[in-house]
């Protein structure tokens, strides 16, 4: 099925370890996004990429890096994981932002626990 695929679905890290969350979309969308969702439900934007080759910080970029590897893939890296980064991470993609007639497609999430 077409959509946004995130890997892994679950991960437990020790404090100080690093890891990369992978995201790929097959809808030929231009824009991709990384959010985190903490208990209490709200979404906070970490980074986004409006097009291949560009990335921009969101609300909570500290402790993260991203790579827009190509049009399909947008990865999120935690260089030195901290317990405060325990969260559920969602990737999303969209086409034609700014046209006012579009929506995000979300992946199913990566549940990360840092101990």
Query: What is the spatial distance between Cα 109 and Cα 103, in angstroms, rounded to a whole number?
Result: 18
Residue from the set 33, 34, 64, 74 that interacts with another protein by CB under 8 A: 33
Structure tokens at 4: 């946004």
Residue 83 falls in which region: left (phi positive, over 0), alpha (psi -120 to 50) or beta? alpha
C-beta of 15 vs 102, nearer to another protein:
102
Structure-block tokens of residue 108 = 């199913």
- Give kind and range of the element (H or E) at residue 99: none
Q: Which of residues 95-114 bind another protein (CB under 8 A)?
A: 97-98, 100-109
Interface of this chain with another protein, residues 56 to 95, rule: CB under 8 A: 56, 58, 90, 92
Which spans of this chain sit near another protein (rule: CB under 8 A)? Answer: 4, 31, 33, 40-43, 45, 48, 50, 56, 58, 90, 92, 97-98, 100-109
């Amino acid at each position: 099925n077409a959509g946004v695929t995130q890997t892994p679905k679950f991960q437990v890290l020790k404090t100080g370890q690093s890891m990369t969350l992978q995201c790929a979309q097959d809808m030929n969308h231009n824009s991709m996004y990384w959010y985190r969702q903490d208990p209490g439900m709200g979404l906070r934007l970490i980074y986004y990429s409006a097009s291949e080759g560009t990335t921009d910080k969101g609300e909570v970029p500290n402790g993260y890096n991203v790579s827009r590897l190509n049009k399909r893939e947008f990865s999120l890296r935690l260089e030195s994981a901290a317990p405060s980064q325990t969260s559920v991470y969602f990737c999303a993609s969209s086409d034609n932002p700014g046209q006012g007639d579009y929506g995000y497609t979300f992946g199913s999430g990566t549940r990360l626990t840092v101990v």
